[in-house]
Amino acid sequence: MTILDEMTLYWSKQVSNDIAHETIELLDSKKDLFFDDKNCLNSNWEGFCVEVQEEVSMIDRNAFLGEIEALFRRYYDLLAKEEQFTLWIQTQIGQSWLSKTENRQSDTFTYEVAPLEYLDCRELLMTELTQVALDYKSESITRYITYVIRGQEVEVDDFEDDEEEYED
């Protein structure tokens, strides 16, 4: 891998990480899809984490993924062309395009000649978000997985403590 390839990969990961964290921030601020009186999850983000970590479907997954993809698209469209390009170049289609010698060694390159397409980047972004969700931990997720999914007993007081924390 060349130095240029390493730099491109680094910036691509930065861009995908930024989009994932913007998406997480918005999902974390909403409770509409996963929150009800019987549920100790604090946000849509925590619900997504449970779905990813436990491979369960709590709601209409396709609808929820559609919402996530709409957020991805919005953030992608706000990126500068250079950032879109560094993200796209890491996709299979981007790598195939770059592997053509005339594209790799062009002295007259402009971003407009690269066939940038958001749909090519969607999987890369979803992979980044899913990886963060796999690693994310919180007390409410642990309790939800233990009590609801695995059916183990959890003290009712554990749920009440959470409510007191968020009343401030």
Could you tell me the residue ranges of all domains in the chain?
A: 3-165
pLDDT at 101: 56
* Range from 52-56, 83-87, 135-139, 159-163 carrying the lowest mean pLDDT: 159-163
How big is the chain by its Cα radius of gyration, in Å? 20
How many whole angstroms separate alpha carbon 49 and alpha carbon 122? 19
Find the mean pLDDT for residues 145-152.
77
| pLDDT at 129 exceeding the cut of 90 | yes
Find the mean pLDDT for residues 55-66.
80
How many whole angstroms separate alpha carbon 49 and alpha carbon 78? 26
| pLDDT at 137 exceeding the cut of 90 | yes
DSSP SS3 for 37: coil
CA 22 to chain centre: 9
Q: Determine the longest span between alpha carbons in the chain, in angstroms.
A: 67
Each residue's pLDDT tens digit, 97-125: 877 756 566 666 666 777 888 999 999 99
